[in-house]
């Protein structure tokens, strides 16, 4: 291995001499090496005498550093090419530094056919691999056909991948063009867990697909679960400026697309908003649904903030005109029933809607004459006094 080195006129003192030899980095691959020396008198031109026995090259006890481009290999199974340890030093075992943009300080590449690791970290009680950065990614994983970073944990409450941030950034950040930015999978527990003291535990953002998607194929399991244990906190929050904040879909028999649960007397699931659709879309308030702790569903047209405001305005108008409490309830109930039938807010209910509704009460619901009169009076009062709307339809005799 290596080329023959010839040095002339070497000084010998008491049978010892010192020379510098350079066989190149290719001669040292981690396997055993021996050196053979041959000598002859300095002024001689005859043959060399081989010194016996040959000398095995041993590792040096101390070195200032490895040569640039040093390669350390091993061909023995289950034997590491390089082992570095500091078992009792209370310091870092291996420190690598670099400042070249676009290059890795430590680069691990796996060339095995399958099941290898570019970089593998293992810890009995601490952290297997920890990355820290002041302005970018602490740990970066990249893969062409598989996972860039994989975290596995056998403990129930331990994280395969654990991300923590003490500022306004992200503990774990995943970004993708076509696939999943962060993908979590679990057999018996949670695929992805996000926890935060002052901000969002999990944030999903996408320009062309789903920001956060939860999928479960097992019965009685949850695709996305949010837990809030403090007053005023939210388990799952969805917000959108132009599309859907939270989207839920279930394709299984007896499955639940979106599940809200509350055990402390609050609201299990709430959707709210002040925006109202245009008249050509029916004028429906966009605050869509509210479910309380008794599993009572509140329609946005007949309950929630919109109906509360309308009821308050109409109640004041009824009181100002001196109607009895029972008459007030009957008038309010008449308006609610109209809204349920038309599925519109009163502001956009048309004359045609009314001409269909009152015959419906008489012909299909078969209400009594008194009920018909109360319905007509209640609706007419709401439109003329609370909403300040007038139509000739109120002059029609529906009796």
- How do residues 194-211 score in pLDDT, each as one tens digit? 777 666 777 777 776 777
Which two structure tokens, joined as six digits, stand for 189? 């527990």
Contact assessment for residue 321 and residue 377, using Cβ atoms and an 8 Å cutoff: no
The last residue of one of the domains, among 89, 122, 145, is 145
pLDDT digits (tens, 9 = 90+) for 268-306: 776 655 554 444 444 444 444 554 444 444 554 444 555
> Which of 123, 145, 167 is a domain's end point?
145
Is 300 in contact with 289 (CB distance < 8 Å)?
Answer: yes
Question: Which DSSP helix (H) or strand (E) runs through 269?
Answer: strand 267-270
Residue 55 lies in a domain: yes
CB 277 within 8 A of CB 284: yes
- Out of 90-99, 346-355, 360-369, pick the least confident: 90-99
Residue 158 covered by a domain: no
- Among the candidates 111, 145, 179, a domain finishes at 145
Contact 342, 324 (CB under 8 A): no
What pLDDT score does 157 carry? 63
Q: What is the pLDDT of residue 61?
A: 55
Residue whose C-alpha is closest to residue 290's, from 312, 306, 311: 306
Task: Tell me, yes or no, whether 197 lies in a domain.
Answer: no
pTM: 0.39
Q: What is the predicted pLDDT for the residue at 275? A: 53
d(CA 234, CA 199) in angstroms, rounded, equals 11
Q: Is residue 207 part of a domain?
A: no
Residue 176 belongs to a domain:
no
Label residue 398 by pLDDT band (50, 70, 90).
low
The residue segments making up the domain with residue 14 are 1-145
Residue 353 has pLDDT above 50, yes or no: yes
Residue 262 burial class via C-beta count within 10 angstroms: exposed 0-12, middle 13-18, buried 19 and up:
middle
Domain membership flag for residue 237 = no
Structure tokens given for 349: 């209910």
pLDDT tens for each residue of 126-137: 777 777 777 777
Q: 390 in a domain, yes or no?
A: yes
Tokens 């209640």, located at residue: 378
- Domain-located, residue 270: no
What's the CATH code of the domain at 316? 1.10.150.130
Closest alpha carbon to 248 in 240, 263, 261, 238: 238
Count of domains observed in the chain: 2
Distance CA 398, CA 200 (A): 57
* pLDDT single digits (tens) 52-78: 888 888 776 555 566 677 778 878 888
């Amino acid at each position: 291995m290596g080329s023959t080195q010839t040095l002339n006129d070497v000084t010998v003192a008491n049978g010892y001499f010192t020379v510098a030899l350079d066989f190149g980095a290719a001669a040292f691959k981690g396997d055993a090496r021996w050196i053979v020396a041959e000598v002859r008198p300095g002024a001689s031109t005859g043959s060399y005498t081989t010194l016996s026995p040959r000398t095995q090259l041993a590792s040096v006890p101390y070195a200032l550093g490895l040569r640039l481009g040093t390669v350390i290999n091993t061909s023995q199974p289950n034997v590491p090419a390089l082992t570095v340890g500091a078992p009792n030093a209370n310091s870092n075992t291996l420190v690598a530094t670099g400042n070249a943009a676009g290059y890795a300080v430590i680069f691990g590449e796996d060339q095995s056919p399958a099941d290898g690791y570019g970089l593998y970290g293992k810890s009995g009680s601490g952290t297997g691999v920890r990355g820290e950065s002041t302005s970018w990614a602490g740990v970066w994983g990249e893969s062409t056909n598989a996972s860039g970073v994989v975290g596995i944990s056998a403990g129930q409450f331990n994280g395969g991948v654990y991300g923590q941030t003490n500022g306004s950034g992200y503990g774990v950040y995943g970004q993708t063009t076509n696939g999943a930015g962060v993908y979590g999978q679990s057999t018996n527990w949670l695929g992805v867990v996000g926890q935060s003291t002052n901000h969002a535990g999990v944030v999903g953002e996408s320009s062309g697909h789903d920001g956060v998607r939860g999928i479960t194929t097992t019965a009685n399991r949850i695709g996305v679960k949010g837990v809030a244990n403090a007053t005023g906190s939210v388990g799952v929050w969805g917000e959108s400026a132009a599309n859907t904040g939270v989207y839920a879909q279930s394709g299984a028999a007896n499955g639940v697309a979106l599940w809200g649960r509350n055990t402390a007397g609050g609201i299990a699931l709430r959707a709210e908003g002040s925006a109202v659709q245009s008249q050509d879309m029916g004028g429906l308030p966009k605050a869509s649904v509210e479910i309380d702790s008794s599993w009572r569903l509140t329609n946005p047209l007949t309950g929630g903030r919109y109906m509360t405001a309308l009821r308050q305005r109409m109640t004041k108008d009824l009181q100002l005109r001196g109607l009895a409490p029972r008459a007030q309830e009957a008038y309010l109930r008449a308006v609610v029933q109209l809204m349920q039938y038309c599925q519109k807010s009163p502001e956009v209910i048309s004359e045609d809607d009314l001409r269909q509704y009152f015959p419906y009460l008489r012909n299909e619901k078969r209400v009594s004459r008194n009920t018909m009169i109360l319905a007509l009076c209640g609706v007419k009062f709401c439109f003329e006094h609370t909403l300040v709307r007038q139509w000739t339809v109120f002059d029609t005799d529906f009796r």
